[in-house]
Structure 1
Amino acid sequence: METRDSLTGILREIRQGVVASCYLLLGEEEFLLQDALQKIIDTLVPESDREWSLFILDGDQETPGRLLDHLNTPSLIPGRKVVVVRNTRLFQSAATASQILQRARELMDRSPAQAAQSFSQFLAVSGLQMEDLKDGGWKNLPGEEWVRMAGAEAARELPSWLPRLLEMCERTGMSTSASADGAGRLEDFFRAGLPEDVCLILTAPAADRRMRLFKIISEKSRVLTFASVKGEARQRQSLAKSVEDLLTGTGKKLTGDALLAVGRKTGFQLRESLKMVEKLIAYVGDRAVIEAGDVEEAVGKTKEDTVFDLTTALAARDLSRCLLTLDELFLRGEAPVFILSMVAREIRNLRHAAALIRSGKLPSAYRAEMEFHDFQRAVYPALRAGDASSAQEAGIRSQHPYVIYLALRNARSFSVGDLEGWISDLAAMDLSLKSTACSPRHMLERFLIRVCSR
């Protein structure tokens, strides 16, 4: 977490009666941001006063006029009035469009409603209209425009994710967010300063720091930035620190192997990991140490484990294991679109690995037959430090080291032509899942048979 101010310091100041007129909480690490927001609210506003002194808006409900009304209206009871705007759109511009779109894509499998909301915000800042994109209308936009707004790799894979996002927006009733007009009124208001008995808290996953409004508000605010943690080592460190904070005062300790087991089951996602640790605290009872075996016993085989089994079998062209694992996923009630997206991710990883092998840029220490611990020690650091000359290279270099290790080992069994053809097939399957009455299971089975039979 990168921060201009310290959350601990801010909370200490509030307890001492020193309250800023505005707090900005920025960044993509949603769990840490929401946790900080709740701690600030808990410290600022007694629970008994929240019905009359705490007002919360979501960004899609926010307009400059409505925000000004809230800030100018006195509290209904004596004391401070706190106004919170979650996911404010005040600092969005065309410069933040790609970050907003990336967030929408990351949320597609975890939270379709939030993905749709982020996509509607992307439409608002990009100037695009939902009606122009529906029913294949997105194909009419020049490819270079999508590259500019979404990035080269995302633009190449439009058929695999954009129709899904549009469908999520329609299903959840999302449309283009209201225009953020009235910026001049807000600038004048914040220059003059907020009323003494009002505190404003703004959260946002991204902000265009060049905007005049952002500069005016940030100069009068305490700012916390919660940057998304990238890379396996930093993910582990961030998770370990958050778990340590959670365990403080419980008398419990999580072993290193248990932490890795939790991370593997959750993909090192903070929110899911900490929920799992809370379950483990209750599971071990009076025992002080939580072991890796406790993770397996208390949590069991997760969706991530089963998906890992499927993609591993696919890379090995083990048709029997592929079909058995696919059957297990359907028995668990997993959505066909989710299964398809995981298969597509594995095929893309193989394609990216094949491109890296063909580029001749693998570190000299790399050997196809080497063990993972040797790869992680001698090859991965050099691979991460190298320059990527294409989006495909960048895509594989940014993955977890074990994912890279497996992809490089397995990619040699596939031709680039086959991999690119299968990516096109998967995009067509994704469209068929949403627009035809074909059996999703039969489509996936036929695809697995085709891949494993080549």
Structure 2
Amino acid sequence: MDVKAAAKAVKQGDIAPVYLLYGTEKYQMNEFVSFLTEHAVSENERDFALVHYDLADTPLQQVIEEAEMVPFMVPRKLILVQDASVFTAGKDQGKVEHRPESLLEYMKNPAEYSVLVFIVNQEKLDERKKIVKAVKTGGTLLSFMPLGSEDLLKWIVKKAKEQGCTLEESAAEAVIRNAGTQLQTLAAEIDKLCLYAGKGGTIRPDIVDELIARSTEQNVFALVEDIANLRVDRALSIFYELLKQKEEPIKIAALIARQFRIILQVKDLAGQSYSQQQIASQLGLHPYAVKIAGEQARKFQAAQLKQILSRLGTLDYQMKTGAIDKVLGLELFLLKLAA
């Protein structure tokens, strides 16, 4: 079951006895937990109906005892369980001893008055474990992974619409370019943009650039994009802006090297017919970053990228040993790269 189907079922009153939420997209996961809380227990009952546990310091069997215990003064209780590493691969390094069989036994006949929600902030579960299979069969298993590039743009536009303002498509791209891909950050920036635009207002790319300051990493990302498109003046302008912000040239060079390394890796994996999502998973990147790196990769040959990385390695050594002025070294590198 996907998240949309699960949310629809919850809205219709069909609430599962056990939920297992996993993935790296914490913002969406928290949104689903809030949505489930809203529909599972009424607001005036939450003092008695909401129970929180952390498996880092509470044994699983104690959580099951809580689920089996009849709620006090409320018809149903919602038990939120953090750090549920018992569902993932590898040995549990914690001091608490868990008995997974207690959950297996509970799943055979779950209490009607309890809703168990296990939260796992990791990319994968251990599908071989019996407790994972049990929840898959008798409960609801939901994955919260980073949105694909197109879905992320749609999410931004939808979020702005919910706030009563309109984002131009190019403005949505600008939001990601300036703020990055973390949903929590994006949501806060969209709130700010819509507050500025007002109800019914339209947000243009120039408004985004005016209101959302780019981080160093995002500035380097834009710098490499300008170099790939032979916009030397803009690339140098970003470089000088970073220097004004007291950024260390060695750090800037390292971030440029990182971006070119990503471009080379994306080019290599795309050449092996890996999909955007597979590349993102393999490199630990957001799908949107893979999309942009893929577009940049088409403008370079693999041999060129390797040569650029080699030159950056030499430049790094020269800057650290004092063989060249750090600012001058980076300026010459950028000019030669554009040439």
- Normalising by structure 1, what TM-score? 0.57
Matched residues in 1 for 2:54 and 2:255: separation? Answer: 31
Alpha carbons of structure 1 residues 34 and 425: separation in structure 2 relative to 1, 3 Å: farther
Matched residues in 1 for 2:185 and 2:206: separation? Answer: 19
Matched residues in 2 for 1:83 and 1:217: separation? Answer: 15
Alpha carbons of structure 1 residues 446 and 93: separation in structure 2 relative to 1, 3 Å: farther
**Counterpart selection for 2:273 from 367, 386, 410:** 386
Matched residues in 1 for 2:303 and 2:137: separation? Answer: 56
User: Does 1:195 find its partner at 2:194?
Assistant: no
Alpha carbons of structure 1 residues 301 and 183: separation in structure 2 relative to 1, 3 Å: closer
Q: Any stretches of 5+ residues in structure 2 without a counterpart?
A: none
Secondary structure in structure 1 of the residue aligned to 2:86:
coil
Q: CA deviation at 1:287?
A: 4.0
**Counterpart selection for 1:182 from 99, 124, 128:** 99
- 1:61-108 per-residue CA deviation (whole Å, 9 max, x = no partner) reads 4532332343244434332121111342121114xxxxxxxxxxxxxx
Cross-structure match for 2:153:
239
Residue type at the aligned position of 1:406: Q
**Counterpart selection for 2:145 from 227, 250, 254:** 227
Q: CA deviation at 1:386?
A: 3.1
Q: CA deviation at 1:41?
A: 1.0
Residue type at the aligned position of 2:85: R
Matched residues in 1 for 2:100 and 2:308: separation? Answer: 52
Matched residues in 2 for 1:251 and 1:415: separation? Answer: 44
Q: Percent same amino acid among aligned pairs?
A: 18
Residue type at the aligned position of 1:51: D
User: Does 1:68 find its partner at 2:56?
Assistant: no
Secondary structure in structure 1 of the residue aligned to 2:128:
coil
Cross-structure match for 1:371:
none
Q: Superposition RMSD on alpha carbons, in Å? A: 4.3
Residue type at the aligned position of 1:328: K
Alpha carbons of structure 1 residues 87 and 329: separation in structure 2 relative to 1, 3 Å: farther
Secondary structure in structure 2 of the residue aligned to 1:203:
strand
Q: CA deviation at 1:44?
A: 1.6
User: Does 1:216 find its partner at 2:139?
Assistant: no
Alpha carbons of structure 1 residues 59 and 293: separation in structure 2 relative to 1, 3 Å: farther
- 1:187-212 per-residue CA deviation (whole Å, 9 max, x = no partner) reads 22322x23232110122233122321
Cross-structure match for 2:296:
406
- 1:120-172 per-residue CA deviation (whole Å, 9 max, x = no partner) reads xxxx46xxxxxxxxxxxxxxxxxxxxxxxxxxxxxxxxxxxxxxxxxxxxxxx
Residue type at the aligned position of 2:306: V
**Counterpart selection for 2:246 from 330, 334, 339:** 330
Are 2:263 and 2:293, in contact at CA under 8 Å, matched by a contact in 1? Answer: no
Secondary structure in structure 1 of the residue aligned to 2:145:
coil
Alpha carbons of structure 1 residues 425 and 197: separation in structure 2 relative to 1, 3 Å: farther
Q: CA deviation at 1:236?
A: 2.5
**Counterpart selection for 2:262 from 349, 364, 380:** 349
Secondary structure in structure 2 of the residue aligned to 1:60:
coil
Matched residues in 2 for 1:214 and 1:412: separation? Answer: 42
Are 1:4 and 1:224, in contact at CA under 8 Å, matched by a contact in 2? Answer: yes
Alpha carbons of structure 1 residues 180 and 289: separation in structure 2 relative to 1, 3 Å: farther
Matched residues in 2 for 1:262 and 1:82: separation? Answer: 36
Q: CA deviation at 1:216?
A: 1.4
- 1:351-405 per-residue CA deviation (whole Å, 9 max, x = no partner) reads 547x85xxxx9xxxxxxxxxxxxxxxxxxxxx578369xx9xx869x75444334
Matched residues in 2 for 1:5 and 1:312: separation? Answer: 35
Residue type at the aligned position of 1:187: L
Higher relative contact order (CA 8 A, sep 6+): 1
Are 1:25 and 1:203, in contact at CA under 8 Å, matched by a contact in 2? Answer: yes
Cross-structure match for 1:49:
45
Tell which deviates more after alignment, 269-278 or 313-322: 313-322
Matches within 5 A, 1:26-425: 26-94=22-90, 124=91, 176-178=93-95, 181-191=98-108, 193-204=109-120, 205=122, 206-230=124-148, 235-241=149-155, 243-244=157-158, 247-248=161-162, 250-311=163-224, 324-330=240-246, 342-349=255-262, 351-352=264-265, 356=268, 386=273, 400-407=290-297, 409=299, 416=306, 419=309
Q: CA deviation at 1:309?
A: 4.7
Matched residues in 1 for 2:303 and 2:256: separation? Answer: 17
Residue type at the aligned position of 1:10: A
Secondary structure in structure 1 of the residue aligned to 2:79:
strand
Matched residues in 1 for 2:119 and 2:205: separation? Answer: 36
Matched residues in 1 for 2:305 and 2:158: separation? Answer: 46
Are 1:349 and 1:407, in contact at CA under 8 Å, matched by a contact in 2? Answer: no
User: Does 1:9 find its partner at 2:17?
Assistant: no
Secondary structure in structure 2 of the residue aligned to 1:330:
coil
Residue type at the aligned position of 1:189: Y
